[in-house]
């Protein structure tokens, strides 16, 4: 397919791949990036919230021409039962700043733009090309890739695997295992289109202000999962995701789940009358620190979702993807500048650098959170939301019952559902996992 040899081949044009490619190309490396979609972004799915800080480090002037939707001024957390939600809302005019901290984005147009910047930096980007396997030499060092194009073998000193969560190539080459069903969530999402004035009125927004809602509770039917509603300019991204192992166990269907979420009395008025223009699905790494595979080897590194880098508590996936891509790119550049070979020993620099960054520090902090939420899903996603909702209703409904009795009823409902030791144990386990 291409005769010449490259310094690096990047597989995939998502956030991690683009970050790696732009970092290396800007430093003068000869970079080939391969993407199986018709264009960069055509296979990529995300909520999506963009964190400016990380992109700014890669493309300082991104605000000039990147297709951004709304800057986020309000974050809502909803704990839901079937008819109610208890909310924690944080809104601040501080987020109406010159260089906003977070934006909602739509991945297909955004990735197309990002890929344009990667090409401007000097990388060769070839789309509509599926990489079918990694090519190794006699000693097992990765020396290139094979594609589905005629005569499609290309060689490079190092291959950056930014192939996404399922990680087909890496697992085929036995660099790591297929993610386990209990360590990935399946999320389904719809794009609901409405006039921008309608969206602004319904979410209490002016101009390009945006709101994002993260929701948990009975909407996931006792499975470990979350729903989300993000306001874009002229559409609303709405979706819900749960662990694959939970779908497997319960026999719940993803489409029924999103349909129920849309019909919830707290959600339905937000999307009423909207035209749905797309239905998508995607896997999200949820295993946290303990699910991170080997990150480098002879002639290869793995970045982003393929490396299972996602902070599920703070909803930071693309952020860690960009960060890991950039760090990998910098490490490769450093090895290259020293004229050292791309061996596992030398590429260990990537691991050293990522360990020192916030990426690993954050994931380590929450290393016990997945196990807690994944094994206690009935309590955290079904029992507690219902108890809290009932307690709130008991608190606000005026019906002549003395307040002392009302408090007793609420307390009794918690103890009956979880017992004293259960309540204390849950609080303790949660605090310990959070710490």
Partner 1 sequence: MAATEVSVRVEDKLYQNRYRVDAGKAHIKVRPHTVPSPALLALLTACPARCYERNDEGQVEITVDGCVECGTCRIIGEPTGDIEWSYPRGGYGVLFKFG
Among 17, 41, 217, 325, binds partner 1 (CB under 8 A): 41
Among 278, 330, 368, 426, binds partner 1 (CB under 8 A): 278
DSSP annotation of 335: H
Does 137 bind partner 1 (CB under 8 A)? Our answer is: no
CB 86 within 8 A of CB 387: no
Helix axes 403-418, 420-434, angle to 10 degrees: 80
Among 263, 314, 361, 364, binds partner 1 (CB under 8 A): 263
# of chain residues touching partner 1 (CB under 8 A): 60
CB 213 within 8 A of CB 229: yes
Does 127 bind partner 1 (CB under 8 A)? Our answer is: yes
- Structure tokens, 329: 């790119």
Toward partner 1, which CB reaches closer, 45 or 327? 45
SS3 readout for 150-219: CCCEEEEEEEEECCCCCCHHHHHCCCCCCCCHHHEEEEEEEEEECCHHHHHHHCCCCCCEEEEEEEEEHH
Does 176 bind partner 1 (CB under 8 A)? Our answer is: no
Q: Which stretch binds partner 1 (CB under 8 A): 116-124, 180-188, 339-347, 391-399?
A: 180-188
Does 410 bind partner 1 (CB under 8 A)? Our answer is: no
CA dihedral 258, 49, 314, 353 (to 10 degrees): 130
Does 336 bind partner 1 (CB under 8 A)? Our answer is: no
Does 277 bind partner 1 (CB under 8 A)? Our answer is: yes
Q: Which of residues 62-101 bind partner 1 (CB under 8 A)?
A: 82-83
Q: Which stretch binds partner 1 (CB under 8 A): 102-110, 203-211, 359-367, 408-416?
A: 102-110
The set of residues, in sequence order, having a beta carbon less than 8 Å from that of 313 and lying 6+ positions away, is: 366, 369
- Structure tokens, 148: 């589905």
Among 281, 313, 344, 423, binds partner 1 (CB under 8 A): 281
Question: What phi, psi does 174 have (nearest 5°)?
Answer: 60, 30
H or E segment at 238? Answer: strand 235-243
Closest Cα partner for 329 from 31, 13, 5, 6? 31
Q: Which of residues 199-238 bind partner 1 (CB under 8 A)?
A: 218, 221, 235
Closest Cα partner for 13 from 281, 321, 239, 357? 321
Q: Which stretch binds partner 1 (CB under 8 A): 22-30, 159-167, 206-214, 421-429?
A: 159-167
Residue 294 CB, nearest approach to partner 1 (Å): 18
Does 254 bind partner 1 (CB under 8 A)? Our answer is: yes
Residue 281 CB, nearest approach to partner 1 (Å): 4
Toward partner 1, which CB reaches closer, 240 or 335? 240
Rounded CA gap, 309 and 312, in Å? Answer: 9
Q: Which stretch binds partner 1 (CB under 8 A): 92-100, 259-267, 326-334, 377-385?
A: 259-267
Toward partner 1, which CB reaches closer, 177 or 405? 177
Q: Is 292 helix (H, G, I), strand (E, B) or coil?
A: coil
Residue 139 CB, nearest approach to partner 1 (Å): 27
Does 27 bind partner 1 (CB under 8 A)? Our answer is: no
Which CA distances in Å does 235 have to 44, 104, 198, 199, 267?
A: 18, 11, 10, 8, 15
Among 92, 204, 255, 419, binds partner 1 (CB under 8 A): 255
Residue 415 CB, nearest approach to partner 1 (Å): 22
Q: What is the DSSP string of 395-408?
A: HH--SS--HHHHHH
The residues of the shown chain that bind partner 1, judged by CB under 8 A, are 36-38, 41-46, 82-83, 106-109, 111, 127-130, 132, 147-149, 164-166, 168, 178-181, 184, 186, 188, 190-191, 218, 221, 235, 244, 247-248, 251-256, 259-260, 263, 276-283
């Amino acid at each position: 397919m291409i005769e010449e040899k490259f310094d690096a081949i990047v597989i995939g044009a998502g956030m991690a791949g683009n970050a790696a490619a732009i970092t290396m190309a800007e430093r003068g490396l000869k970079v080939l990036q391969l993407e199986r979609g018709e264009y960069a972004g055509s296979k990529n799915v995300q909520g999506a919230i963009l964190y400016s800080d990380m992109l700014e480090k890669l493309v300082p002037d991104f605000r000039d021409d990147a297709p951004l939707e709304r800057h986020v001024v309000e974050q809502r957390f909803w704990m839901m039962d079937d008819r109610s939600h208890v909310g924690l809302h944080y809104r601040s005019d501080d987020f109406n700043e010159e260089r906003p901290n977070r934006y909602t984005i739509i991945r297909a147009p955004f990735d197309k733009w990002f890929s344009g910047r990667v090409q401007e930096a000097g990388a060769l980007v070839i789309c509509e090309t599926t990489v079918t396997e990694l090519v190794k030499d006699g000693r097992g060092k990765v020396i290139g890739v094979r594609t589905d194009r005629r005569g499609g073998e290309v060689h490079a000193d190092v291959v950056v695997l930014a192939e996404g969560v399922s990680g087909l190539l890496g697992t085929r080459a036995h660099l790591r295992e297929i993610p386990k069903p209990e360590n990935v969530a399946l999320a389904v999402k719809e794009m609901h289109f409405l006039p921008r004035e309608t969206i602004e009125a319904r979410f209490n927004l002016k101009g390009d202000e945006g709101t994002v809602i993260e929701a948990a509770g009975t909407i996931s039917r006792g499975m470990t999962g979350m729903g989300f509603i993000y306001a874009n300019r002229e559409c609303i991204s709405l979706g819900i995701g749960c662990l694959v192992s939970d779908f497997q166990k319960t026999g719940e269907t993803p489409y029924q789940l999103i349909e129920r979420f849309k019909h919830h009395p707290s959600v339905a008025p937000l999307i009423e009358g909207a035209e749905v223009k797309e239905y998508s699905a995607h896997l999200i790494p949820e295993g946290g620190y303990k699910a991170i595979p080997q990150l480098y080897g002879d002639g290869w590194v793995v970045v982003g979702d393929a490396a299972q880098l996602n902070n599920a508590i703070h909803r930071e996936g693309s952020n860690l993807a960009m960060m890991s891509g950039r760090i990998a790119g910098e490490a490769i550049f450093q090895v290259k500048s020293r004229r050292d070979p791309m061996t596992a020993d030398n590429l260990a620099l990537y691991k050293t650098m990522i360990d020192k960054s916030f990426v690993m520090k954050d994931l380590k902090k929450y290393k016990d959170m997945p196990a807690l939420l994944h094994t206690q899903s009935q309590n955290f996603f079904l029992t507690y939301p219902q108890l809290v909702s009932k307690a709130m209703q008991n608190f606000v409904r005026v019906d002549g019952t003395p307040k002392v009795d009302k408090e007793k009823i609420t307390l009794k409902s918690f103890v009956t559902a979880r017992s004293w030791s259960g309540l204390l144990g849950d609080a303790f386990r949660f605090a310990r996992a959070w710490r």
